[in-house]
Amino acid sequence: MNLRIFLAAILACAFCRAEVKTPPQLNKNRAEVLSFFAKNVYGKMPEASFVREAKVIKTEKVPEFSATRKIVRINTLTPLGEKAFNAVCYFPDGFEKTPVFIYISFRPSTETANSRWPIAEILARGASTVSFCYEDVLKDKADVLSCIERKDDSWGAISAWAFAASRVVDYLETESLADASKIAIVGHSRLGKTALWAGANDKRFAMTVANNSGCFGARLHSRNLYGESIERITNFFPHWFAPNAGKLWSGKDYSLPFDQHWLVAAVSPRLMAIGSALDDWWACPPGEMACWEYSAPAWKDRSCINYHVRPGEHELTSVDWKEYLDFAARNKWFSAK
Ligand code: GCU
C-alpha cells in the first residue's frame, strides 16, 4: 500500500476519533448479530418454501478464454414472489474443480465484457467465475416495494439480492467443475453491502469481498467523517432495507447501540476483504478502514482479513481485483499461478 495514502487514512481516523465515541464493543455471538441486523437493518430473509431450481440452459466452449461457459437459470424468492434469473458461469479448461468468484453485477447478464468483471484474469489464476445481474432478481427502484404491505422488519432489496447469491451457491454445490469449499462473493458499492450481508449469513461463502461498500456496508457509522448518513440512505433508498432501518436509526449515526464491525466480524473465521478508494468520500474510506480495524480482533488469524485502499474514485478496478485474487492466493486457493 502506498505510504502516503496510508498515512492520510490514519490521520483522518485519528482526527475522527477525537470527534466521536468509541464504537460499541464487538459482539461475539454471530447468531445474535445476524438476527439483530435482519430485524433492524436489512430485513428478515424468508423461511417460506419455494421451488429451488437451477437448470443449465446452455453450455458452450469459449476458445478466447480457454473456458466453458454455462448459462444457468436459477429460481429464487423475492419480496414480490418467486423469480428466475440467469447466472453466467465461466470454468477454465484443464482444471477438475476450481474455486469460484461470484460477482454480483450492475450490468445485464447478457453482457460479458465489463471492466468490473475481469473474466480472463480470474480464469488465469485457475479459478472460475459466475455473475448475475442484481436487477434480474429485483428492480433497484425506490418504489419497487410500495405495492406490498411491509412490516417493520420485512426484507428489502439488499436481503433479496443476498438471498439470490445463496441460490447461486445451491447450484454450485451440484456443479462438478466447482470447488464448493472455495466460493467467494464479490460486490461493489450497494452490491458490496449486499456481498457483506450475504457472506455474513451464509457460511458457504468462504470469502467475502466488500468493495467501496460505504454506509451500511463495511464502514463504521460512528467513524463517518463526511460521507453518506443513515438518514440520507434510508430516505433515498428505502427499498434496500427493512423499514426499521430508517425508523430506528435515522439521525443516530454517532450514538448507535451497534455498528457495522459487528456484521464484518460475523464473517470470521472465513476470509474477509474490505476495499476502499481514496477519493470515494461518500463511502468514507477512513470509516471503512476503521471498520476493518475494529472487526479484526474477531479473527485469530489476522491474515484472513484484508484491507486495502487504492488511489482514485468509487469503482471496482483491476487493481482491486488483483488485491482480492492475491488475498485468495495467499490463503492457498489456487494451484495455478
Ligand atoms: C449511492 C448510495 C451508496 C451506494 C452507491 C452505489 O451513492 O448513496 O450508498 O453505495 O450509490 O451503489 O453506487
Contact partners, residue 146, CB within 8 Å, separation at least 6? none
Helix (H, G, I), strand (E, B) or coil at 272: strand
Amino acid 3: pLDDT: 55
Which amino acid, residue 272? Answer: M
Residue 275 beta carbon below 6 angstroms from any ligand 1 atom: no
Q: Ligand 1 atom 13: the closest Cα is on which residue?
A: 189
Tens-binned pLDDT, residue by residue, of the chain (337 aa): 455 555 665 666 555 544 556 788 887 799 999 999 999 999 999 887 888 899 999 999 999 999 999 999 999 999 999 999 999 999 999 999 999 999 999 998 777 768 899 999 999 999 999 999 999 999 999 999 999 999 999 999 999 999 999 999 999 999 999 999 999 999 999 999 999 999 999 999 999 999 999 999 999 999 999 899 999 999 999 999 999 999 999 999 999 999 999 999 999 999 999 999 999 999 999 999 999 999 999 999 999 999 999 999 999 999 999 999 999 999 999 985 4
pLDDT value, residue 11: 61
218: Cβ below 6 Å to ligand 1? no
Cα 257 from Cα 244, distance rounded (Å): 14
Q: Is the peptide bond before 269 cis (omega within 30 degrees of 0)?
A: yes
> Residue 149: what pLDDT?
97
Scored b (16 or more CB within 10 A) or e, 21-34 reads eebeebbeebeebb
Could you say which of 189, 222, 229, 295 is catalytic?
A: 189
- Determine the residue of 196, 282, 313, 316 to mutate for testing ligand 1's pocket, defined as the one with the most ligand atoms within 8 A of the Cβ atom: 282
Q: Can you give the pLDDT at residue 25?
A: 87
Q: Which fold has domain 3-330?
A: Rossmann fold (3.40.50)
pLDDT at 47: 82
Give the pairing of strands 81-92 and 67-78: antiparallel
Which pLDDT does position 2 carry in this prediction?
53
C-alpha distances (whole Å) from 155 to each of 17, 39, 100 are 33, 9, 27
- Map residue 200 onto helix, strand or coil: helix
Q: What is the DSSP code (8-state) at residue 239? A: G
Could you give the angle at which helices 30-37 and 190-201 cross, rounded to 10 degrees?
140
The pLDDT of residue 1? 46
Facing residues of 100 across strands?
Answer: 128, 183
Cα-to-centroid distance, 169 and ligand 1 (Å) = 26
Tell me the CB-side half-sphere exposure of residue 75, using CA atoms within 13 A. Answer: 9
Q: How far apart are CA 259 and CA 23, in angstroms?
A: 7
Q: What is the pTM of this model?
A: 0.94
Q: Which of 104, 135, 141, 190 to mutate to test the pocket of ligand 1 (most atoms within 8 A of CB)?
A: 190
Locus of grid cell 440512505: 233
Cα gap 94→82, rounded to integer Å: 37
Domain ranges, ordered by start, for the chain: 3-330
216: left (phi over 0), alpha (psi -120 to 50) or beta: left
Is 314 one of the catalytic residues?
yes
Ligand 1 touching residue 282 (CB < 6 A): yes
Residue with CA closest to ligand 1 atom 8: 233
User: Which residue is associated with the grid cell 437493518?
Assistant: 41
